[in-house]
Amino acid sequence: MNSSIILSVTTFVYAFASVLYIGSWTFKKEVMAKAGFFVFVAGFTGNTMGIILRWIESYKIGYGHAPFSNMYESLVFFSWTIAALYLFVEIKYKERIIGVFATPLAFLSIAYASLSPSISDKITPLIPALKSNWLIAHVITCFLGYAGFAVAFGFSIMYLIKPVDLEQKDHISGDKKLQNGKKSLYSKLPSLDLMDELIHQMVMFGFLFLTIGIITGSVWANSAWGTYWSWDPKETWSLITWFIYAILLHLRLMRGWHGKRIAWVSIVGFMAVLFTYFGVNLLPGLHSYA
């Protein structure tokens, strides 16, 4: 049994969990979401074991480094952070259905790592510049930040899909469930207020960790190259992402910016995250991965 196999299996477990969540939403079956939760927890366990095993394997080979050093490892870790954060939210807020758009993101990330032919799952040694504890702190915090934004993105999509008139009916009947048995697809979704709040919570979580990620990266750059900020494209794009979410936080403080509009800004922000992560590799710079 090696880590790559465990992680490939994890990919399919995540896929199954996503299918269950989406199924529970489309077929209005709460029980599927419940099952989805347990499958997702199983996937998360596999994901965790895979990462730990890979860490051990790297020591056995003699390279001995934390498994956060190339595209494959970062993608696997990205899905781990998304899963961890999502599970935390589901458990804390006791809302099952919100996983419809968040769980597939955990699946997509690890699926891209496992299935893309251009991403190798080989364990490679670290070049001198990457040998730093700051690297570990940098990668962990950046990906926690990205996970916050990813989950916020999932919630934002959900927010935009939920029709407003239904919500108003919801309000009339109070917080209790609709009395008549006609439950529509959307009445399963949590209230808009809760979604709005959750998006904000996730953005704040993401912002804090992206902030720490940029800071640890900058301290690392200062210890390796003697410059804490050099405006290389990856750095700049992470700053652009940071600006976008800072804008989001301030927009909420201005009258009228809630709900839908914030959901859109959060989607734009996540596009910037994706570009920082994948797009920048097309541009020249110091970062070879992640």
Partner 1 sequence: MEKNNSDKKSENILWNTFKSVKLTVVVLLLLAVTSIIGTIIPQNGTEQFYLNRYGEVFFKLFNLLDIFDMYNAWWFILLLVLLSVNIVICSIDKLKTTWKIIFPDKITFNIDRFRRLKDKIELESNSNLEALEAKYLQFIEKNFGFATVEKSEDQNPKGVAIFGESGRWTRIGVYVVHLSVILMLAGGVIGSLWGFKAFVAIPEGLTVSSAFLRDNNRPVELGFDIRCNSFSVTFYDTGQPKEFKSNLTVLEDGKEAFTKDIIVNDPLRYRGLSLYQSSYGIDSAKSATFKITSKQSSMTYSKKMEIGDTIDIPESGGKFTLSEFVHGYNFRGHNLGEGFVGRMYSSNKVDNGQNSESDKNGEIEIYIPIKFPTFDKMRGGEFSFEIEDYEKQYYTGLQVTKDPGVWYVYVGFILMIIGCWITFFMSHQSICVEILEKNSGCKVIVYGTANKNSQGMKLKVGKIASMMDKL
Per rule CB under 6 A, is residue 177 in the interface with ligand HEM? Answer: no
Write the CA distances from 195 to 108, 143, 156, 251, 270, integer angstroms: 23, 22, 8, 17, 17
Per rule CB under 6 A, is residue 240 in the interface with ligand HEM? Answer: no
Angle (CA) 102-288-151 rounded to 5° is: 10
Per rule CB under 6 A, is residue 251 in the interface with ligand HEM? Answer: no
Choices 25-33, 126-134, 142-150, 244-252; region in contact with ligand HEM by CB under 6 A: 244-252
Using CB atoms, what's the residue nearest to ligand HEM? 249
Residue 182: name its binding partner from ligand HEM, partner 1, none (Cβ under 5 to 8 Å by kind): none
Residue among 28 and 252 whose Cβ is closer to ligand HEM: 252
Output the smallest distance, CB 190 to ligand HEM, in A: 21
Output the smallest distance, CB 251 to ligand HEM, in A: 10
Per rule CB under 8 A, is residue 284 in the interface with partner 1? Answer: yes
Which SS3 state, helix, strand or coil, does residue 261 take? helix
The token pair at 88 is: 């935390």
Q: How many residues bind ligand HEM (CB under 6 A)?
A: 4
What letter does residue 288 receive in the DSSP assignment?
-
Alpha carbon 85 to chain centroid, angstroms: 8
Output the smallest distance, CB 254 to partner 1, in A: 6
122: left (phi over 0), alpha (psi -120 to 50) or beta: beta
Among 131, 169, 171, 250, binds ligand HEM (CB under 6 A): 250
Q: Tell me if 195 sits within 8 A of 177, measured CB to CB.
A: no
Output the smallest distance, CB 123 to partner 1, in A: 11
Residues 30-89 that bind ligand HEM (CB under 6 A): none
In angstroms, rounded to a whole number, what is the distance separating the alpha carbons of residues 51 and 73?
Answer: 8
